């Protein structure tokens, strides 16, 4: 049985589907059963509860032998200790590539701390360090549905965004196959894009004129300067220096990573 935390999230939804397609037994965690609608009929066991609650942690690992977990779902020490007590044999942990490129920032520190907790637990684990998710541009949906102008304080820096479905595909491999234990995978998409590039892609897919505008709001620019890692997701704009395009997804999956175009085409309805 594979326990998937974050099962209703950007990565988790893909992972649950991919694991079921591979014939694995999956238990999906959510705090809100309505978010897991359709999973039970696809043969997924849905566990409703909060991973910050010790009683839920004790019960949810019964019969589990592999775990997929993220940075922000509960206290990593408590989650991994419960996994260890239950005899879990394999863990896939998602942190952030900021552990490498901005190690002293908030997210970098959180990532490194969490990875250390996993190493200290002694559980055989694989760390996935993805770069910015393509899904961050869902933060633009209201402005796109409205006037079609996305206004942000800055256009930020070129970013090789990754489709969370690819992070899920790597996670599925590391959960189902041996040979990934002890590895850390740094993951990016196939091309460095600026917001203007993504807007062009969305415009072509939606068949509407869309524009990106910098409004240079001094207060927000200062916020970006001080905590680029913490504000990027909310703006849907990357303010951190790119790690460059990495070949890890292709090396592990044997196919190139999905493009922003592919992600946008699959998610066009979110912008309509």
Ligand X SMILES: NC(=O)c1ccc[n+]([C@@H]2O[C@H](COP(=O)([O-])OP(=O)(O)OC[C@H]3O[C@@H](n4cnc5c(N)ncnc54)[C@H](OP(=O)(O)O)[C@@H]3O)[C@@H](O)[C@H]2O)c1
For ligand X, which is the closer residue by CB, 164 or 189? 164
For ligand X, which is the closer residue by CB, 149 or 155? 155
* Of the residues 2, 3, 18, 30, which one makes contact with ligand X according to CB under 6 A: 30
* Of the residues 1, 20, 35, 176, which one makes contact with ligand X according to CB under 6 A: 35
Q: What is the closest distance, in whole angstroms, from the C-beta atom of residue 210 to ligand X in the complex?
A: 21
**Residue 156 touches ligand X, criterion: CB under 6 A:** no
* Of the residues 108, 130, 236, 243, which one makes contact with ligand X according to CB under 6 A: 130
**Residue 246 touches ligand X, criterion: CB under 6 A:** no
For ligand X, which is the closer residue by CB, 125 or 147? 125
Part of the chain binding ligand X (CB under 6 A), chosen from 46-54, 57-65, 194-202, 213-221: 46-54
In the 3-class helix/strand/coil scheme, how is the chain assigned residue by residue?
Answer: CEEECCCCCCCHHHHHHHHHHCCCCEEEEECCHHHHCCCHHHCCEEEECCCCCHHHHHHHCCCCCEEEEECCCCCHHHHHHHHHHCCCCEEEEECCCHHHHCCCCHHHHHHHHHHHHHHHHCCCEEEEEECCEHHHHHHHHHHHHCCCEEEECCCCCCECCECHHHHHHHHHHHHHCCCCCCCEEEECCCCCECHHHHHHHHHHHHCCCCEEEECCCHHHHHHHHHCHHHHHHHHCCCCCCCCCCCCHHHHHHCCCCCCHHHHHHHCHHHHC
Site map for ligand X, 202-241, x if CB under 6 A? Answer: -------------------------------x--------
* Of the residues 115, 132, 143, 163, which one makes contact with ligand X according to CB under 6 A: 132
For ligand X, which is the closer residue by CB, 142 or 204? 142
| Cβ atoms within 10 Å of 63's Cβ, excluding its own | 11
Residue nearest to ligand X (CB): 9
CB 239 within 8 A of CB 177: no
Count the site residues for ligand X by CB under 6 A: 29
Part of the chain binding ligand X (CB under 6 A), chosen from 30-38, 75-83, 221-229, 242-250: 30-38
With the CA atoms of 201, 204, 208 and 214 taken in that order, what torsion angle do they form, in degrees rounded to the nearest 10?
A: 20
**Residue 102 touches ligand X, criterion: CB under 6 A:** no
**Residue 71 touches ligand X, criterion: CB under 6 A:** yes
For ligand X, which is the closer residue by CB, 30 or 121? 30
Provide φ and ψ at 139, rounded to 5°: -65, -15
For ligand X, which is the closer residue by CB, 133 or 260? 133
* Of the residues 18, 126, 136, 248, which one makes contact with ligand X according to CB under 6 A: 136
Q: Which of 130, 135, 118, 33 is nearest to 67 (CA)?
A: 118
* Of the residues 64, 91, 92, 94, which one makes contact with ligand X according to CB under 6 A: 94
CB 78 within 8 A of CB 85: no
| Interface with ligand X (CB under 6 A) | 5-12, 29-32, 35, 50-52, 70-74, 94, 96, 130, 132-133, 136, 164, 233
């Amino acid at each position: 049985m594979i326990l998937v935390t974050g099962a209703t999230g950007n990565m988790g939804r893909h992972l649950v589907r991919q694991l079921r397609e591979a014939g694995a037994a999956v238990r999906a965690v959510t705090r809100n059963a309505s978010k897991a609608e359709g999973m039970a009929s696809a043969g997924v066991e849905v566990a409703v509860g909060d991973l910050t609650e010790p009683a839920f942690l004790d019960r949810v690992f019964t019969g589990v032998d592999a775990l997929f977990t993220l940075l922000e779902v509960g206290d990593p020490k408590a989650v991994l200790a419960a996994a260890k007590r239950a005899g879990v044999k394999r863990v896939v942990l998602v942190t952030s590539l900021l552990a490498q490129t901005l190690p002293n920032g908030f997210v970098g520190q959180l990532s490194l701390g969490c990875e250390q907790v996993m190493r200290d637990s002694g559980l055989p684990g694989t760390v996935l360090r993805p770069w910015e998710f393509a899904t961050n541009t869902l933060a633009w949906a209201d402005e796109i549905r409205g006037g079609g102008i996305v206004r942000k304080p800055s256009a930020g820096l070129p970013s090789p965004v990754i489709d969370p479905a690819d992070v899920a595909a790597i996670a599925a491999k590391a959960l189902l196959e041996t040979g990934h234990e002890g590895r850390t995978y740094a993951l990016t998409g196939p091309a460095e894009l600026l917001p203007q590039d993504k807007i062009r892609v969305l415009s072509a897919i939606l068949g509407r004129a869309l524009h990106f505008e910098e409004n240079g709001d001094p207060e927000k620019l200062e916020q970006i300067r001080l905590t680029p890692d913490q504000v990027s997701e909310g703006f849907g704009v990357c303010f951190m220096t790119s790690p460059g395009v990495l070949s890890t997804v292709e090396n592990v999956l044997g196919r190139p990573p999905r493009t922003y175009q592919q992600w946008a085409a699959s998610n066009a309805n979110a912008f309509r």
